[in-house]
Amino acid sequence: MVVTQPGELHEEHEHEHVHLPQHRHHFETEEQQREAASFGMWLFLLTEIMFFGGLFMAYLLYRNWYNPAFVAASHTLSIKLGALNTAILITSGFCMAMAVWAAETRKRKALVNFLGLTNFFGIAFLVVKYFEYAEKWHDSHIPGLKFSIADFGKLGVDMAQKTQVYYSLYFAMTGMHALHMIIGIVLIFWYMVRANRGEFTEGYVAPIENFGLYWHFVDIVWIFLFPLLYLIDLGAK
Amino acid sequence: MSDLHHDPANITNPEHHDHHIVGPSTYLVIYGTLLALTAITVAAAYVEMGALNPIVAVLIAVIKATVVILWFMHMKYQSKLLKLTIGAGVFTFLVLIAMTLSDYMSRAWGLW
């Protein structure tokens, strides 16, 4: 039995391994632990793909069924705010990528700052989203709560009612996306405190790395939501 | 963990890749690419292409997502196991779309 003290090199392996405090005993090596955690995170993201996938599937189907309603309703969204939010979220994703780099290169201050910037742009996204939702409230475009077909009279009553399907999906999809962002923002605050203590800049980067995967996944969901909800029916009359 | 049951030669994952660090210059290029593609997709939406509009929009979104996965999510530098994992996820999602749509379309033949 080889007894290894923390910090002591394990020499029988192909490359050298330092036993670090975060190394759990059921993993043979630090790499194995890191890869297992990364694999687990990707498996979780696969379930997320299927979760949002169901919503995308519903959107695809109803968009074909009630196309005139979807065209008219999508025209009530602000392309400017949607594009602005896309840029804000991409900027947030860039800061997150830089945070992972800062953790890997052991820059404690830079890591805390990049996490802060990631959070700043994440919150900015939600603020813009709030103004978009407020506009929907003002225009009575919220199914079940405050809805009127007044803006869609030319579709005929039946088809005008179907704009509620579009808005239901709009709020379900952007709302679920926003919920993911809120969870992420809370986690980032927690990671900022821990990063400030230097927990992730001594070689233990897995939490930051795996949180980055989550944050980028949420980015990707928006990358699809923006064209589908705002853009694709712009040219249709 | 006695040496009797422990083969040190067998614990290293043959798929193991050394931890690859992606630097700021790469991230900046990716960031610029994503912003440019956002501008392109907005501009393309204003061009009337009929049925092509949704196709172009989704195509650009797929390119953006691929760029994010490859560089921001480091997939380019990961093991085959992880590449296969994300591939399986995308494939399953496509099965969800294809099978559901083919069912709906075949039940209302001619109405699509």
- pLDDT of residue A13 exceeding 80, the answer is no
Establish if B106 touches chain A: CB-CB under 8 angstroms. no
d(CA A145, nearest CA chain B) in Å: 30
Determine, yes or no, domain membership for A74.
Answer: yes
SS3 A146: strand
Chain B: residue whose CA lies nearest to A16: B12
- pLDDT of residue B1 exceeding 90, the answer is no
Determine, yes or no, domain membership for A3.
Answer: no
What residues does A17 pair with on adjacent strands? Answer: A10
Rounded mean pLDDT of A67-75? 95
Q: Tell me which residue in B8, B16, B73 faces A216 most closely, judged by beta carbons.
A: B73
Integer Cα distance of A118 and A179 in angstroms: 16
Rounded mean pLDDT of B28-50? 95
Rounded mean pLDDT of A1-27? 59
Integer Cα distance of B39 and A199 in angstroms: 39
Determine, yes or no, domain membership for A135.
Answer: yes
Determine, yes or no, domain membership for A34.
Answer: no
- pLDDT of residue A45 exceeding 60, the answer is yes
List, for residues B5-23, the tens digit of each pLDDT value: 444 444 444 455 567 889 9
List, for residues B77-97, the tens digit of each pLDDT value: 988 999 999 999 999 999 999
- pLDDT of residue A8 exceeding 80, the answer is no
Chain A: residue whose CA lies nearest to B6: A1
pLDDT value at position B58? 96
Q: Which residues of chain B lie closer than 8 angstroms to A53, CB-CB?
A: 93, 96-97
Residue length, chain A? 237
CB contact (8 A) between residue A1 and residue B2: yes
What confidence category does residue A50 fall into, taking pLDDT thresholds of 50, 70 and 90?
very high
- Number of domain units in chain A: 1
Instruction: Return the higher-pLDDT residue of A31 and A137.
Output: A137
**DSSP string spanning A71-139?**
HHHHTTS-HHHHHHHHHHHHHHHHHHHHHHHHHHTT-HHHHHHHHHHHHHHHHHHHHHHHHHHHHHHHT
User: What percentage of chain A exceeds 70 in pLDDT?
Assistant: 91
Nearest to B22 by CA among B74, B69, B64: B74
CB contact (8 A) between residue B13 and residue A1: no
Where in chain B are the domains?
A: 21-77, 79-112
| CATH number of the domain where residue A105 is located | 1.20.120.80
Q: What value does the CA radius of gyration of chain A take, rounded to a whole number of Å? A: 23
- pLDDT of residue B45 exceeding 70, the answer is yes
For chain B, give the mean pLDDT: 86
- pLDDT of residue A11 exceeding 90, the answer is no
Rounded mean pLDDT of A191-210? 94
Tokens coding A177:
């996306």
Q: Which domain holds residue A197?
A: 42-231
**DSSP string spanning A74-91?**
HTTS-HHHHHHHHHHHHH
Find the farthest-apart pair of alpha carbons in chain A and give their distance in angstroms, rounded.
81
d(CA A70, nearest CA chain B) in Å: 13
Instruction: Give the list of residues 6+ apart from residue A230 with CB closer than 8 angstroms, or none.
Output: A74, A77, A79, A82, A83, B45
Determine, yes or no, domain membership for A210.
Answer: yes
Q: Tell me which residue in B72, B93, B112 faces A216 most closely, judged by beta carbons.
A: B72
Rounded mean pLDDT of B46-72? 94
List, for residues A108-161, the tens digit of each pLDDT value: 999 999 999 999 999 999 999 999 999 999 999 999 999 999 999 899 999 999
Instruction: Give the list of residues 6+ apart from residue A139 with CB closer than 8 angstroms, or none.
Output: A76, A151
